[in-house]
Amino acid sequence: MMSVRIDKGRLGGTLELTPMIDVVFLLMIFFLVSSKLEEDDRAIDVVLPQAAAAKPLTSRPREFIINVDRDGNLYAGSRPVSLDELNRLLRQAVADNPVRQKVTLRADEEVAHKHVVSVMDACVQAGIEDYRVQSSRAVPAPPASE
């Protein structure tokens, strides 16, 4: 049987630092160049306009809720509105949030279908693509086949 001899003195904890130093220098050069470019962008003397009523662009739009009772009366939230006023409110909501305005239509189960369709048509005319009809009960799942 032949024994293998390992020299523990040569293997003990030496770490090759040259690649690590190279990486640190490359990172330092990258950050120096990128910070210099940022300074160049801000070096142009521009007087920015002041806005008194500006809102941040990242604000989330409020969901617009329309309720229709069993008699066909329309409500913007809990406030009664006519169809013409609803059209105006929907256009204003789209003007405030042109891309992301959401509408939820909550209709009584006894209401005539024409009232629901008129609200959906008002949404389309206002330019709202994200509207949905909310039901109060979940649709039961079909029975599992055995």
pLDDT digits (tens, 9 = 90+) for 111-131: 888 988 999 999 899 888 888
Task: Name the phi and psi angles at 21, rounded to 5.
Answer: -65, -40
* Boundaries of domain holding 106: 64-134
- How far apart (Å, rounded) are the C-alpha atoms in residues 91 and 68? 19
Quote the number of domains for the chain.
1
CA 24 to chain centre: 38
Q: Indicate whether 36 belongs to any domain.
A: no
**pLDDT at 141 > cutoff 50:** no
Q: Indicate whether 71 belongs to any domain.
A: yes
Task: List the CATH number of the domain containing 81.
Answer: 3.30.420.270
| pTM, full prediction | 0.52
Q: Which helix H or strand E contains 68, and what residues bound it?
A: strand 64-68
Count of positions (residues) in the chain: 146
Q: Indicate whether 47 belongs to any domain.
A: no
Q: Indicate whether 53 belongs to any domain.
A: no
pLDDT in tens, 46-91: 566 676 666 655 556 678 888 888 888 898 877 889 999 999 999 9
